[in-house]
Amino acid sequence: KGIVITHGTDTLEETAYLLQAVLAPLKPVVLTCAMRPSTALVPDGPQNLVDAMRVACEPGAHGVVAVCAGQVHAARLAQKVHTYRTDAFSSGDAGPLGVVEAGQLTMWQPWPAEATPAPALLQRLLAAEVWPRVEWITSHAGADGLLVRALLAQSREAGMPPLRGLVVAGTGNGTIHQDLEAALTQAEADGVVVWRTSRCAQGRVLASEQARLPVAPEQLPPAKARLALQLQLLQAS
């Protein structure tokens, strides 16, 4: 009926996004985790696993989701937002798809929209020795273009993988320090694809006349935007 995958919490959201983007499964693929070790007085892993199996057996369920602390999160929206609490994951403003309470699943939103699987892209992923190099940098007070220029210089060295993309997490509404933006403009001139996101955990990057760099598709946070750009570059290669 479905598949349950146990996964570490730190990069679970990236794996979930990648699986949904490439496989778009017609059956449920449920990722679950534990914030406490099995040696803890009250471990959370066993209950998360039971809840994940309950979700995987739900008739009509499909797509990749994450189940943690009784909440069901869509792969595109799931994000780890706390360092140690058992309810470490959030779906931001949209909220979870549903909850599992006392073994019963209550859905508040539809399952992830059905999409067309991408077998050709999957084959390219499996065959590629190295994925396109995409780095993630952050804008902050006093940010300059030193890191960007260093990455560009390194990618020109013999034997180094070329820099193909950059995801920049801006402050607030995706704002980028002018010195950093100048370096990113140079990167674009060198053929590097640059996407803009926000370092904020919630909210969308709204259109702005002052902002020149494009916003990452689907309003993705930086970690998922990096994966999405890698997939786009791999598909175009």
Q: No. of H helices and E strands in the chain?
A: 6, 11
Contact in structure between 187 and 194 (CB atoms under 8 Å): yes
Find tokens 């779906």 and name the residue.
91
Query: What 8-state DSSP symbol labels residue 22?
Result: H
Per-residue model confidence as pLDDT tens digits over 134-153: 999 999 999 999 999 999 99
3-state secondary structure of 232: helix
Find tokens 């070790």 and name the residue.
37
Cα–Cα–Cα angle for 203, 206, 212, rounded to 5 degrees: 130
Per-residue model confidence as pLDDT tens digits over 33-59: 999 999 999 999 999 999 999 999 999
How high is the pLDDT of residue 212?
A: 87
Q: How far apart are CA 168 and CA 176, in angstroms?
A: 8
Q: So what CATH class is 119-236? A: alpha beta
Contact in structure between 87 and 68 (CB atoms under 8 Å): yes
**Angle, in degrees to the nearest 10, between helices 12-23 and 119-127:** 130
Contact in structure between 106 and 71 (CB atoms under 8 Å): no
Q: How far apart are CA 52 and CA 17, in angstroms?
A: 17
Same fold, 3-107 and 119-236: yes
Write out the chain's pLDDT in tens, 237 residues: 999 999 999 999 999 999 999 998 999 999 999 999 999 999 999 999 999 999 999 999 999 999 999 999 999 999 999 999 999 999 999 999 999 999 999 999 999 887 777 788 888 888 888 899 999 999 999 999 999 999 999 998 878 889 999 999 999 999 999 999 999 999 999 999 999 999 999 999 998 878 889 999 999 999 999 999 999 999 887
Edge to edge, what strands does the sheet with 63-68 contain?
Answer: 3-6, 28-32, 63-68, 71-74, 98-101, 104-107
Cα–Cα–Cα angle for 108, 113, 117, rounded to 5 degrees: 145
**Angle, in degrees to the nearest 10, between helices 119-127 and 222-236:** 90
How high is the pLDDT of residue 178?
A: 95
| Domain boundaries defined on the chain | 3-107, 119-236
How high is the pLDDT of residue 106?
A: 98
Q: Which CATH superfamily is domain 3-107 in?
A: L-asparaginase, N-terminal domain (3.40.50.1170)
Find tokens 């998360």 and name the residue.
48
Alpha helices in the chain (DSSP H): 12-23, 45-56, 119-127, 146-155, 178-189, 222-236
Structure tokens at 174: 């995706």
Structure tokens at 34: 């534990």
